Amino acid sequence: MTVCVRIPTQLRELSGGASELKVEGSTVAEVLAALEQQHPGFAERLHDADGSLRRFVNVFVADEDIRFLQGLDTAVADGDTVSVVPAVAGG
């Protein structure tokens, strides 16, 4: 299944400046693996050493936070949009 991955400004140097990329996958984990295969460097920025998402990285499928779904095992459908959103802190 082809999905659109929205890339945040902070990671666009890894995507050649693209704000959106099309990748294949049926789960969020597969989509992120395909993203890493096509544009190396994403995995180390998105995942901890154990393979889980870094706590400051939020991922949404069709505007739903995967932490409230099935996490990296969340299914994606053809044409879905997966958004990678780094947490923002400030004061």
Distance of CA 57 to the CA centre of its chain: 9
Q: Which domains does the chain have, with CATH numbers?
A: 2-86 (3.10.20.30)
Query: What is the reported pLDDT for 89?
Result: 64
pTM of the model: 0.91
For residue 70, give both structure tokens.
Answer: 């099935």
CA distance 62 to 81: 6
**pLDDT tens profile 66-88:** 999 999 999 999 999 999 998 87
By CB neighbour count within 10 A (0-12 exposed, 13-18 middle, 19+ buried), where does 4 fall? middle
Q: What percent of the chain has pLDDT over 90?
A: 90
Residue type, 87: A
Query: Of the candidates 86, 71, 65, 61, which has an alpha carbon nearest to the alpha carbon of residue 11?
Result: 86
Q: Which is it for the CA torsion 62, 25, 4, 82, positive or negative?
A: positive
Beta bridge partners of 23: 3
